[in-house]
Structure 1
């Protein structure tokens, strides 16, 4: 079983949206994903109540309960656990990072967002985790090359010592439409540009997960 924590000390960077979308792709027949909503706003739980599908499963949890919940999930045969964390709450973020096999740190590409993401990357490095930064809510491509602000943000994150996902997730209306129906773009608009970006990001995240935990 793999555990993925989606963390950022800054709000509004799309942690919950990524958790929703990745959890559906992370579910497999007989091995559903488990979402853990540790954000007091419980936006993830709100979305989950709108869903018509039973999977992924969801638990609203306090971050201090994570070790016990993770162990129970392992016994029950879950394939992936994805933790959505609150902004600003350093202790909760650290608790999620400690139980994670991979820490995913989303950020918008703007300069103020990049300045703020440094503290989250530092938290991960402090406890020996190698975070994967994800550029989220980006301007869509208008041609073959990605927008300059995305390229510049990618360079800035690399200079902070972070691995950066090659996939940049664009800010698309289809993602909001999907969420309002309790679904994801991969369910609501399969084959669309947004669905392709989320699928590509999930493939990168899967590749970044540690191999030695796959047989647990």
Structure 2
């Protein structure tokens, strides 16, 4: 079983949104469990509005997480996607130690780049496999490969010695509209640009996760 954690110690990074959309893509490759450890419960709100039976969702504390993951593995779950809370270093650390891969969303901008240092330091101290995602980026104009803000963010992260996944997830209304109706963006707008960006992100992240040992 592969365990993907989406973590950032700064609030507003877009963790829950990414977790919802990525979990539906993971579910198409194998049985998937979405684990909500954020007290705000955004994913539980989304799952409650969802007509589809999958992905399954459970809420868990750091104390309960080992048992949740063990039960998931024993019941044939192939992918576990964990949404973490902000501002809770001890919980994020416990989650990282259990994850196959930690994905760290970073919005382009100085405040997010400054805040990401603590999350990176934690992952390094635990020797946890990680990669950054450039999230909520300015949408690309037709023919544009990368905006200046994204290029600068990618350069700063690279200079910090952290892997950065290619591409970006842009700030698009369809990502939020899909969640309101309990859908993923590929269900809400199959041919949209947001769907293409999320699909590309999942392909890269899932391939990277497969290069690391599975949760035993």
TM-score bucket of the superposed structures, by smaller chain: over 0.9
Match of 2:110 in 1: 111
Return the alpha-carbon distance in structure 2 between the equivalents of residues 46 and 152 of structure 1.
35
SS of the residue 2:19 aligns to: helix
Q: Once the 2 structures are TM-superposed, how far is the Cα of residue 215 of structure 1 from its aligned partner?
A: 10
5+ residue gaps in structure 1?
A: none
Residue 137 of structure 2: aligned partner: 138
Alpha carbons 1:130, 1:162 under 8 Å: kept: no
Whether the aligned pair in 2 keeps the contact of 1:64 and 1:92 (CA below 8 Å) is no
Instruction: Identify the residue that residue 98 of structure 1 maps to in structure 2.
Output: 97
**How far is 1:130 from its partner?**
2.8
Q: Is this contact kept in 1: 2:27–2:55, CA < 8 A?
A: yes
Deviation of residue 102 (structure 1)?
0.2
Q: 3-state SS of the aligned residue for 1:156?
A: helix
Deviations 1:63-82 (A, max 9, x none): 22111111110000001000
How far apart are the structure 2 equivalents of 1:211 and 1:131?
12
- In the TM superposition, 1:1-216 aligns within 5 A as 1-28=1-28, 31-142=30-141, 143-211=143-211, 213=213
- Runs ≥4 residues deviating over 3 A: 210-216
Q: 1:162 to 1:215 in 2, by over 3 A?
A: closer
Residue 112 of structure 1, CA deviation: 0.8
Q: CA-to-partner distance for each residue in 1:92-123, whole Å, 9 max, x for gaps?
A: 10111010000000010111111001110111
- Paired residue secondary structure (2:190): coil
Superposition deviation, residue 184 in structure 1: 1.1
The alignment partner of 1:163 has SS state of: coil
Q: Pairwise CA RMSD of aligned residues? A: 1.4
Q: Is the 8 A contact 1:51 1:182 kept in 2?
A: yes
Contact 2:100 2:214 in 1 (8 A): no
* CA distance in structure 2 between the aligned counterparts of 1:182 and 1:210, rounded to whole angstroms: 28
Are the equivalent residues in 2 in contact too, given 1:9–1:120 (CA < 8 A)?
yes
Q: Aligned residues, how many?
A: 215
Contact 2:49 2:181 (8 Å CA) reproduced: yes
TM-score (normalizing by structure 2): 0.96
Q: Distance in 1 between matches of 2:13 and 2:193?
A: 20
TM-score normalised according to structure 1 size: 0.96
* Structure 2 unmatched ranges of 5 or more: none
